Amino acid sequence: MKITVTSMGLLSAAMSVAVFVFFIISRIPAVDPKIHPIASIAISVSIFLIPVGYLFNKKQNAIKDAERRLPDFLRDLSNYSIFGLPMAEAIKMTASNDYGHLSPEIRDLENKISVGLPVDEALGTFGDKTGSADIRRVGRIIRKASESGNNTYDVVTLISDFNAQMALMRDTRRAEMQNYILVLLIALGVFIFVILIIDIGFFPKIKSTTFGSLGLPGSTNLRPVIERIFDAGIYVQGVGIGAISGLLKDGRMRSGIFMIGAILLVSALILIGAGVA
């Protein structure tokens, strides 16, 4: 049974609620929502985000791999023009090759042609299996070239070269963006370290703060409030960095869902381990 992002989201949401209820019932001091509401919520949310983000990233990586192998398929398809093979026969020849995550799409195309579906109609559905807009666009271009009576193999060669250059540009951009994401994670680590130093080294020396001159009770202790504000700042910054990482990766915030969940979980565990959650 193939697990979709939607079904995983429902399952993760149920697990997240179950974990939060467990925190309430178990009354473990470190994760008790009444004592540490922010940490317990962060862990529960991370349990929802991590599986969904992992499955979504896995799906997107499969699409990227299919798009990366597309120029190889088009190049092989074009090479068969040397032997004067019709498009249908050329597709059948390439179906036996290994093109990674693009192979199921090609085999599906070959199966449709084998049962008698015209090549033009079969190319109209090329890319639907992977869900890639770029692959669907290539299929439609080849279909239009075939319908117009042009030299289809020349069109295939041009598309292959163009897609190879675009894949190289995307890989280069992705490598450059990884450096920016690393810098953001280092900045978050430094921020967490500073907060820990303040919580562990500075706050214990402050027993209470009096604000009688401001009209507040003289015994008011602001330490728990300030600690929670600082902790919330860590989680907010973590969510922001995760969302930005998605934008830097492929221009979509949802691509950073996994990182958001991972940052929330790691931050919560660090603060709990240090006893300042």
Architecture (CATH level 2) of domain 65-168: Up-down Bundle (1.20)
What's the pLDDT at 213? 45
Q: What is the pTM of this model?
A: 0.80
Chain segment 4-59, per-residue pLDDT in tens: 778 888 888 999 999 999 988 988 887 888 888 888 999 999 999 999 999 999 99
H helices of 80-132, in order, are 87-94, 103-114, 119-123
- d(Cα 49, Cα 8) in Å, to the nearest integer? 10
Domain segments of the chain: what residues? 65-168
Minimum mean pLDDT range among 109-118, 128-137, 176-185, 211-220: 211-220
Mean pLDDT of 253-263: 92
Q: Is the pLDDT of residue 239 over 90?
A: yes
Residues near 213 by beta carbon (within 8 Å), at least 6 away in sequence: none
Chain segment 150-209, per-residue pLDDT in tens: 677 778 888 888 888 888 888 888 888 888 899 999 999 999 999 888 888 776 666 544
What's the pLDDT at 261? 94
Estimate the crossing angle of helix 5-26 against helix 37-79, to 10 degrees.
160
